[in-house]
Amino acid sequence: SKKPVRVAVTGAAGQIGYALLFRIASGEMLGKDQPVILQLLEIPDEKAQNALKGVIMELEDCAFPLLAGIEAHSDPMQAFKDTDYALLVGSRPRGPGMERAELLAINGAIFTTQGKALNAVASRNVKVLVVGNPANTNAYIAMKSAPDLPAKNFTAMLRLDHNRAASQLAAKTGKAVADIEKLTVWGNHSPTMYADYRFATIGGASVKGMINDETWNRETFLPTVGKRGAAIIAARGLSSAASAANAAIDHMRDWALGTNGKWVTMGIPSDGSYGIPKEVMFGYPVTCEGGEYKIVQGLEIDAFSQECINKTLKELTDEQDGVKHLL
C-alpha cells in the first residue's frame, strides 16, 4: 500500500473545514488508495482550538481506513512540517464596513506568516491551494513570502466559479453538467471574474451555438455566476461552504491526479500568457498531467472578452499593489 501523504488544512474548525476534512479523509481528494495524515491549523483562541478538538473527535469516529493520522496545531511552523498539500482556508474575508487597507493588512499578516512557514518547513514539492478570501491576493502574498519554493506551486481557487458556470450552462441547455467541456473562468475570484463559454462544448457541439443569445450571456449568465456567492449568503444566512469545499477537492484532485485532457480553471501565477503580467495570480484554463498544470494556449480573445479580462486584471493588480509594501 502507498505511503501516507501529509495534508495541511488551515481554518480547520470553520464551516468549509467541516465540509472538507471528511472528504479528504475518505479519499475523495487524492484517491481511494492514498492514505493521508491531516495536519490541522486553527488560531490559538481557546474556542477555535476546542472546536477543532470536536472536529477531530468526529474524524476519529468515522474510522476512515485511509486516515493515517491527525494533528491539531496553532503554529503554522508545526502545521506545515513536511506537508505535501496545503489548503489555506482560514483568512479574514471583508466584513461589513471594513476598509480595504484593514483587510489587506490583516490578510497580509496571515499569509506572509504562512508563506514563510511553508518556505521553511513544507515539502519542497508542496502543492498549495488558497481558498480564504481575497483568495488570489492571499495566494500571491504566500507565494512572494516563500522564495525557496517554486512559484508555480501556489494557486488560488477559481474552481467554485468554474463549477457554478458549468451548472448554469447545464440548466440553460438542458444537458448534463458532466458533459460540458472547454469552459473557463478568467481572472480574480470576485464578481469581476470572466466566465467564458465561447469555446465550451457538450458532446462535441458548441454551447455558444446552442444558446445563441449574447444578451443572456452578458445580462444573465455573467451576473448570475459573479453574484452567486452573495445570493447564497442572502438565502442561507451563511457563505457557501459545502460547494466551496467541493471545489477545493476538485482543484486538488485534478492537479494531483490529472484531468485526462479536460480543461479546468485554476488561479495560478501568470507566465505572461494572454498578456497577463508575470506573477499575477490569475484564473486560466488549464489541463493537468503528472502533477503539473499547463495553460491552454492559442485561444482567441475577442473585444468583449478582452474588456472583461482587463477589468478583472485591473482589480487584481490594484490588490497586489496594495500589498507590495508587505513583501
Near ligand NAX by CB under 6 A, which window of 40-48, 62-70, 166-174, 211-219?
40-48
DSSP state of 187: B
From the list 13-21, 28-36, 162-170, 303-311, the region that binds ligand NAX by CB under 6 A is 13-21
SS3 assignment, position 102:
helix
Nearest approach, Cβ of 184 to ligand NAX (angstroms)? 15
Q: What secondary structure letter does DSSP report for 152?
A: G
Q: What does the buried/exposed string (b/e) look like for 251-264 if buried means 16 or more CB atoms within 10 Å of the residue's CB?
A: bbbbbbbbbeeebb
Question: What span, in angstroms and rounded, lies between the C-alpha atoms of 61 and 70?
Answer: 12
6 forms part of the interface with ligand NAX (CB under 6 A): no
Give bridge partners of residue 302 from the DSSP assignment. none
Determine if 90 is a binding residue for ligand NAX (CB under 6 A): yes
Say if residues 48 and 10 touch (Cβ distance below 8 Å): no
Any contact of residue 296 with ligand NAX (CB under 6 A)?
no
CB of 212 to ligand NAX, least distance (A): 30
Nearer residue to ligand NAX within complex by CB, 167 or 206: 167
Report in angstroms how near the CB of residue 63 gets to ligand NAX at its nearest: 25
Task: Pick the closer one to ligand NAX by CB: 10 or 312.
Answer: 10
Piece in contact with ligand NAX (CB under 6 A), picked from 9-17, 29-37, 64-72, 220-228 = 9-17
Residue 10 binding ligand NAX, by CB under 6 A: yes
> Rounded to an integer, what is the distance from CA 260 to the centroid of its chain?
20
**Residue environment code for 36-63, b if the CB has 16+ CB neighbours within 10 A, otherwise e:** bbbbbbbeeeeebeebbeebbeebeeee
Per CB under 6 A, residues contacting ligand NAX are 10-11, 13-17, 41-43, 48, 89-91, 93, 110, 131-133, 135, 157, 160, 189, 239-241, 244
Q: List residues with catalytic annotation.
A: 189
